[in-house]
Amino acid sequence: MQQTGSQILFKALKEEKVDTLFGYPGGSVMDIYDEMFRQNIRHILVRHEQGAIHAADGYARASGRVGVCLVTSGPGATNTVTGIANAYMDSIPVVVLTGQVTTAMIGNDGFQEVDITGITRTCTKHNFLVRRIGDLQGTIREAFQIARSGRPGPVLVDLPKDVIQSVIEADVPPAAVPPAEEACPDLERPCNEALKLLLKAKRPLIIVGGGVILGKASEVFRSFVKKLQIPVASTLMGMGAFPGTDPLWTGMVGMHGAYYANMAVSQCDVLMAVGVRFDDRVTSKVSAFAPHARLIHIDIDPVSIDKVIRADVSMVCHCGPALKTLNRLIDEQRLTLPKLQIRHWHRQLRQWKAEMPLQYCRNQNIKPQYVIEKLYQLTEGRAIIATEVGQNQMWAAQFYRFDEPNTFLTSGGLGAMGFGLPAAIGAQVACPDRIVVDVAGDGSIQMNIQELATVVHYGLPVKVVILNNLYLGMVRQWQELYYGRRYSQTDMTQAPDFVKLAEAYGVKGLRATKPEDVKRILLEGLETPGPVMMDFQVEPEENVYPIVKPGSPLTEMSFGNVRAVA
């Protein structure tokens, strides 16, 4: 029996247990889409290829599985580049299948030909150009293996049209793909060294990052924290790895981190970083970051170790094995961190929280922080929250408490506007029984707003909460604080009526203009079956606080009009 390249592709996808593709058809992939008629696989037709890659990314973040998108050659492929770079920066496992002109035409500037493997070489974990049908099945298997192993990331597979159309004998076995070798060093010695540092500490602190969530190590991490009762702070990507309602939770650290989290980092004497890469939004002024602390660093990526902050004890491995070894050693040696030893540290953290909690000044206008607070209360903290990028993203991180991993989906490293809505689509497909909300700004939502058609097409009950301040809010805030209030090209008053626009797509549109409207509109939106877009007309010049000026120590935070609690 003979099989075409398209049939072999779907066979390989089924071997990887792929149940959903996010895509958009075109000339070079028509044979794949034709074969799809005969395949039992779900396809989500997006309205733009950037929506496809972001939706695959959101699917991966919410489900913990590899997301897959399928696009045509030329502009179809290039439209995915932003999403590929986004997945690369945040270490999200995605496989991107791109169509390509025939192998004979490659390099001849054929219609819709681009060198997509060359274009994406710096923003993929690996990429492939398949030139022979005999290599196809093995290449797909290898792509998935690379995407999910080690530090996860996007892998692109470029599929020439003639390879997909070719025929091969079905009984020809694919080339063997050796299993990925996961780095797993001898952990006994460094774990004992780490425990010695922690047990001597008077002011210990743990920073948890996205590596704990990606490594599916949240439960073992929580167990470790409970055993030693060490306070926990988080990076933006680590939100949900440790419960935001736990007394040991110290908040998000960094440029828009909580006062008490930034102060804890600046005063701790031992800092344990788990699944953290120490990007500049976390550290700010590197020479002033955790200046009194000995550092323990656990990360799967050897490049991250000593790259920004020098470690006293380091482990290059997945977070799970290291934390399991730490837990075992604690149990075997019956280790505890004496309560008297760190009593003053816990008291200091409580005092900082009481003095300067996350807060804002209320007036007659809707405050965006208030919208997020009410959203948290009404969903009881159980929603999956996707965000766009900018002020809306930071307010969601600050005022929604995440108790579970894989529930905060945000573009961290790249800061890609337009991420939230398609990511929410991917999350809703992956988790059909969960409430999924996209927290958006009026600027960012317009970058991929066409995906409202996708949610209607597939009956996805995604809820969109727009914090509409009629500005490109975060850029305007920086212009106010650092550029003499010269608002250059950040005015967004020429905007669509989001309620009417939603209704034009077939989505229910709601609007709130006063603080007393907020709870009612949120309740109506959350209880309405199907997709809903809620337009909250918020305080136009509200700023995200605290804020640390780039290059300043984390202790130098600005708070605007908010003052310490008396």
Active site residues: 49, 111-112, 161, 474
Please tell me what DSSP assigns to residue 311: -
What is the distance between the alpha carbons of residues 199 and 332, in angstroms, rounded to a whole number?
15
For the chain, the distance separating the N- and C-terminal CA atoms, rounded to the nearest angstrom, is 80
Residues forming a β-bridge with 67: 94
Residue type, position 58, single letter: G
The answer to whether 290 and 311 have CB atoms below 8 angstroms apart is no
The residue assigned the tokens 């996961």 is 182
How many angstroms from the chain centroid is the CA of residue 149? 18
Token readout for 378 is: 């009404």
Cα–Cα distance for residue pair 158/129, rounded to 1 Å: 5
| CA 375/CA 372 separation, integer angstroms | 5
CB neighbour class for 461 (10 Å; exposed up to 12, middle 13-18, buried from 19): middle
The owner of tokens 């005015």 is 491
Residue 60 CA to residue 88 CA, distance in Å, equals 13
In whole angstroms, what is the distance from residue 51 CA to residue 199 CA? 48
Query: Is residue 208 helix, strand or coil?
Result: strand
SS3 content of the chain, % helix, strand, coil (to 5): 40, 20, 40
Closest CA to 87 of 125, 140, 139, 45: 125
Provide the sign of the torsion angle of the four alpha carbons 57, 156, 110, 133, taken in this order.
negative
Residues 6+ apart with CB under 8 A from 504: none
Residues 30, 33: Cα–Cα separation, whole Å: 5
Residues belonging to the chain: 566
